[in-house]
Amino acid sequence: MAKVLLINGSPHEQGNTYVALNEAAKTLGEQGIETEIVWIGTKPVRGCIACGTCMAKGLGHCVFNDDLCNEVIDKMNAADGLIVGSPVYYGTPTGNILNLVHRMLFAGAQVQGKPAAAVAVCRRGGATSAFQTLQMPFQMVNMPLVTSQYWNIAYGRDQGESSQDSEGMQTMRTMARNMAWMIKQFQSGNVAMPEAEPWQPMHFIRNEE
């Protein structure tokens, strides 16, 4: 069975970033794709110091083994797709999630040809820049980007509030169906495109009528 790794880059294990990722995970499950959500936790994650040891020695892992980076690399090597989610801090993803992504990709995680998507969750603004920042590394390591009906953004402040963003949750489901389709298409070459849901537009105050 194909598998997608989802990484929750929020310091809150079941906050709004988890709500968005879980919506995608449930949809992937409905498409016959196994999922695992890894929470980055609240402990520090090292930044890459560009020592080059991983590349020079062909380790396939980071030389530093005092955080979860190498564990995530192993999980990524066994997965067929990747979704990385983060809350928005000052218009950017969290520092820990960027540190993790930088190191896992540079150290040699097996990602080439595996579909990838980013998810940004915010209270109000800055989501597009955070979303773009999360996506940019994937384009440098030959990971096909998974599209949706909109940028993969959800809105909410209090815990669980992003579940009320009906358009955001639909965007997560659409992204997940597209990812499942891409994985199956890469494996078989003859899978029909997923059927789209009727659009559920929102403008953050109320549903459109």
Per-residue pLDDT reduced to its tens digit, 71-129: 999 999 999 999 999 999 999 999 999 999 999 999 999 999 999 999 999 999 999 99
0.85 surpassed by pTM: yes
Cα separation, 33 vs 50, in Å, equals 35
Asked if the model's pLDDT at residue 1 lies above 60, the reply is yes
Helix axes 127-139, 95-106, angle to 10 degrees: 10
Cα separation, 154 vs 164, in Å, equals 9
pLDDT of residue 208: 58
pLDDT of residue 206: 64
Read off the pLDDT of residues 137-187 as tens digits, 9 standing for 90 and up: 999 999 999 999 999 999 999 999 999 999 999 999 999 999 999 999 999
* Cβ 164 vs Cβ 114: under 8 Å: no
Provide CB contacts within 8 A for 161, sequence distance 6+.
Answer: 16
Cα separation, 83 vs 12, in Å, equals 17
State how far the alpha carbon of 121 is from the alpha carbons of 81, 84, 108, 115, in Å. Answer: 20, 11, 28, 20
Asked if the model's pLDDT at residue 21 lies above 60, the reply is yes
Cα separation, 18 vs 39, in Å, equals 9
Cα separation, 146 vs 81, in Å, equals 10
Give 3-188's CATH code, choosing from 1.10.110.30, 1.10.240.10, 3.40.50.360, 3.20.20.60.
Answer: 3.40.50.360
The full set of domain ranges for the chain reads 3-188
Query: What does the block give as tokens for 185?
Result: 């298409």
pLDDT of residue 37: 98
Asked if the model's pLDDT at residue 201 lies above 90, the reply is no
